Structure 1
Amino acid sequence: MSTFLNSIQGVLIIILMVAVGYTLAAKHWFTENSKKLIAKLVTQIALPPYMIISMTNDFSKSELAKLLPNLRYPVLSMFILMGISWIVARFIKVDPKRRGLFMSMFFNSNTVFVGLPINLAIFGTKSLPYVLVYYMANTTIFWTLGVYFIQRDNPNTQVKFNFVDGIKKVFSAPLLGFIIGIVLIVLNIHLPVVLSKTFTYLGGLTIPLSMLFIGISVYDAGLSNMRLNKDSLGVLSGRFIFAPILMYLLVAHSDMPNMMKQVFILQSCMPVMTNAPVVAKLYNADADFASIMVTETTLLSLAVVPIMMILLN
C-alpha cells in the first residue's frame, strides 16, 4: 500500500511541475530560444553528471554485471513492436506519406524528458540504471531505424543509413554520462568531494527542468490541436496498449528485480519522442502530425501512469 501511495504522490508531483511550466508559458515567460536552452541544459549539462553520481552512489560492480544483459528485453520489445506497427499501419490504411513516421512513433518512446523524471519521482534514484538500460536500446533504435523509416516518407529524399551521424546521435551526452559511471564502477574509482558535490548540484536540475520543458511544450503545441482520428488512435494504441502489454509478457517470468520490471513497463508506454517532429521537419515528412502526437501522448501519459502503477502494484 505504501508503494502505491508513493507512486500516486510521485505522479502528482510531476503533474504539478508540468502545470507550473504550462502556466509560465501561458504568461509568455518563454520564447522558442529559451525552450531550446532548457532542452540543452537538461540533456548536456544536468543529465550527464546526474547519471554519473547516481550510478556510482547506487550501484556496485556485481549489480552492474547483472544489469546489462537485460538490455535484450527492450531491444526485443521494440523489434516486435516494429512488426506490429507495420501491420497496424496497413490495416488502418495510414497515408504512405506518413507511414514511416507512424511506425517510428509507434515503437519508440520518450525515455528521457518524460520517462526519466517519472521513474525517479516514483521509484527514486535506485531506478536510474534500469531507466538507462531502456534508454540505450530506445535511443539507438530511434536514431538508426526510426530515422530511416521517417526518411522513407518523402519520395524526394534519398533514403540511406548515415552510420557516422547515427553513432553521434546515439552517443549523446546522457549516454556518455552513463558510460562514464559504468567505467568508474568497474575501475572502483571514487570521485573527489569537489566533483561529487558539483555533479550533485548540477544533476539536481534534471527533474524540474524536464517537467517545465514538458509544460512549455504542451502549451506551445496547443490543446486545441488535439485530434482523434484513425492515425492518431493507431499511435496511441502502440504507445499505451501494445507496448506495455508486450513488455509485461516479456519480463513477467524473468528473474530480473521487480523494480526493473516495473521501470521497463513504464518506459515502454511513455509518450512519443520529442525528437520525432524535429526529424520529420528535417526530412520533409509530416512534422505537424508528429507534433500533435507528442502533445497528445504527453498529456495522456499523465493519466496512463497512475493506471499503470495501480496495475503494477
Structure 2
Amino acid sequence: MVATYLNILVIFAMIIIGYILSAKKWFNNKMIDAFSKLVLNIALPLNMYLNMIEKFEHDEFLTLATGIVLPAVSIVVTFILSKVFCSLFKVSTNRRGVFQTMFTASNTIFMGLPITTAVFGEHAIPYALLYYMCNTSFFFTVGISLIASDREGASMTWKFDWRDLVRKLLNPALVGFFIGLLWMLLELPKIKPLLDFSRYMGGLTTPLSLFIIGMIVYQTGWKSIKFNHEVAGVLLGRYLVSPLVVYLLSFIIPVPVLMLKVFMLQSAMPVQNSMAMLARAYGADEVFATSSLIYSILSYLVVIIVYLFLWI
C-alpha cells in the first residue's frame, strides 16, 4: 500500500514541478509545444521500443500470447460502451473523440507498470505488458483518429482514405512499439549502444509528460480545470466500466487468477499522461483533456484503496 501511494505521489510531484517552473516563467507555450514534439516524436517511440525488447523474451511472449485475447476484447467492448455513454452524458460533439479515448484507454505504463509491480511483484510484469500492448495499439490508432476528429468536426462526412489510415498507423509511437515487437519476435541481437541511447532518450518520456501537464494546468489556469458531467463520465469509464468489462468477460475467456487481477488493475488506471499533449497537438479540447487527466489522478488516491481492499 505504501509503495503504491509513493508511486502516485512521485507523479504528483513532477506535475507540481512543471506548474511551479511555469509560474516562475521558466516555461511558456512555446516550451510546451517543443517538449510535446520531443516526447511524441522521439522519447515515447524509443521508450516503447525499449519496453518490448527488454521486458519480453521470445519464448515467454509466445507462451503468454493466448492471454492477450481477454484485454483485446475488453478494450473493444469498452470502446463500444463509450459511444453509449457519450449519449447518456450528452457529451459535446467537439469533445466526443477525446471522451471516448479517455473512457477506453488506460495509463498502462507511466502509472500502470510501477503500481502493478508494487502490488503484485516483478512476476506480474509480463501480464501487465500484455494489457499494455492492446491498450497501446488502440490508443495510437483508433484513439489518435478520435482525437483528431474533434478538430475536424463530428458533423463532417467520413470518407475512407488509405493514405490517411497509413499516416495514422505510422505515428512515431506506434512505429517504435511495432519495431520493438518485431525485434523481439525475430530475436535480433540487442545492440548495446542502441539500447543505451533508447534508455536515455526514452527516460525523458515520463518526466517531460508530467512537466507538460503541470505547464498546461498553469497556462490554462486552475479556474478552467473544472469538474463537470463529462469528466464524471470519463471517471466512470476508467474506474468502473473498464474493470467490470474485464471481470465479466473472464467468465467467457478464462485466464489464471493473477493474470485477471493484473488485467483488472491495468484497465482501471487513470487517463493516459499524453492526452493533454495529443489534444493540444491535434487541435482538440485540451482543457477538457487536462481536467479529466488531473481529476483521474486525484481520484485514484481513493480508488486504489478500494481496489486493494476488493482484489488483493
Q: TM-score range by the shorter chain?
A: 0.7 to 0.9
Question: CA offset at residue 240 of structure 1?
Answer: 2.5
Does the 8 Å contact 2:231/2:292 carry over to 1?
A: yes
- The 5 Å alignment of 1:267-306 reads 267-271=267-271, 273-274=275-276, 277-278=279-280, 281=283, 289-290=288-289, 292-301=291-300, 304-305=303-304
Q: C-alpha separation between the residues in 2 aligned to 1:215 and 1:306?
A: 25
Q: Could you tell me which residue of structure 2 aligns to residue 108 of structure 1?
A: 104
Question: CA offset at residue 61 of structure 1?
Answer: 0.8
Q: Per the alignment, do residues 168 and 186 of structure 1 end up closer, same or farther by CA in structure 2, a change over 3 Å counting?
A: same
**TM-score, length-scaled by structure 2:** 0.77
Question: CA offset at residue 60 of structure 1?
Answer: 1.1
Q: Could you tell me which residue of structure 2 aligns to residue 133 of structure 1?
A: 134
Q: C-alpha separation between the residues in 2 aligned to 1:41 and 1:307?
A: 37
Unaligned runs of 5+ in 2: none
- The 5 Å alignment of 1:60-75 reads 60-75=57-72
Which stretch shifts more, 16-25 or 290-299?
290-299
Q: C-alpha separation between the residues in 1 aligned to 2:209 and 2:281?
A: 20
Question: CA offset at residue 135 of structure 1?
Answer: 0.9
Over the aligned positions, Cα root-mean-square deviation in angstroms equals 3.5
Q: Could you tell me which residue of structure 2 aligns to residue 248 of structure 1?
A: 247
Q: C-alpha separation between the residues in 1 aligned to 2:260 and 2:175?
A: 21
Q: Could you tell me which residue of structure 1 aligns to residue 47 of structure 2?
A: 50
Number of aligned positions between the proteins: 301
Q: C-alpha separation between the residues in 2 aligned to 1:257 and 1:164?
A: 43
Q: C-alpha separation between the residues in 2 aligned to 1:227 and 1:220?
A: 14
Q: Could you tell me which residue of structure 1 aligns to residue 266 of structure 2?
A: 266
1:88 is the counterpart of 2:90: no
Amino acid at match of 2:196: K
Q: C-alpha separation between the residues in 2 aligned to 1:147 and 1:210?
A: 18
Question: CA offset at residue 16 of structure 1?
Answer: 1.6
Amino acid at match of 2:109: L
Q: Per the alignment, do residues 168 and 258 of structure 1 end up closer, same or farther by CA in structure 2, a change over 3 Å counting?
A: farther
Question: CA offset at residue 21 of structure 1?
Answer: 1.5
Q: Deviations over 1:1-24 (max 9, x none)?
A: xxx333222222222222212221
- The 5 Å alignment of 1:1-313 reads 4-92=1-89, 94=90, 97-98=93-94, 100-101=96-97, 104-105=100-101, 107-109=103-105, 111=107, 115-123=108-116, 126=125, 129-130=129-130, 131-144=132-145, 146=146, 150=150, 154-155=154-155, 157-251=156-250, 254-255=254-255, 258=258, 261-262=261-262, 265-271=265-271, 273-274=275-276, 277-278=279-280, 281=283, 289-290=288-289, 292-301=291-300, 304-305=303-304, 307-309=306-308, 311-313=310-312
Does the 8 Å contact 2:18/2:212 carry over to 1?
A: yes
SS at match of 1:189: coil
Q: Per the alignment, do residues 235 and 218 of structure 1 end up closer, same or farther by CA in structure 2, a change over 3 Å counting?
A: same
Amino acid at match of 2:204: L
Q: C-alpha separation between the residues in 2 aligned to 1:57 and 1:291?
A: 31
Fraction of identical pairs, as percent: 25
Question: CA offset at residue 152 of structure 1?
Answer: 8.7
Q: Per the alignment, do residues 201 and 159 of structure 1 end up closer, same or farther by CA in structure 2, a change over 3 Å counting?
A: same
Question: CA offset at residue 68 of structure 1?
Answer: 4.3
**TM-score, length-scaled by structure 1:** 0.77
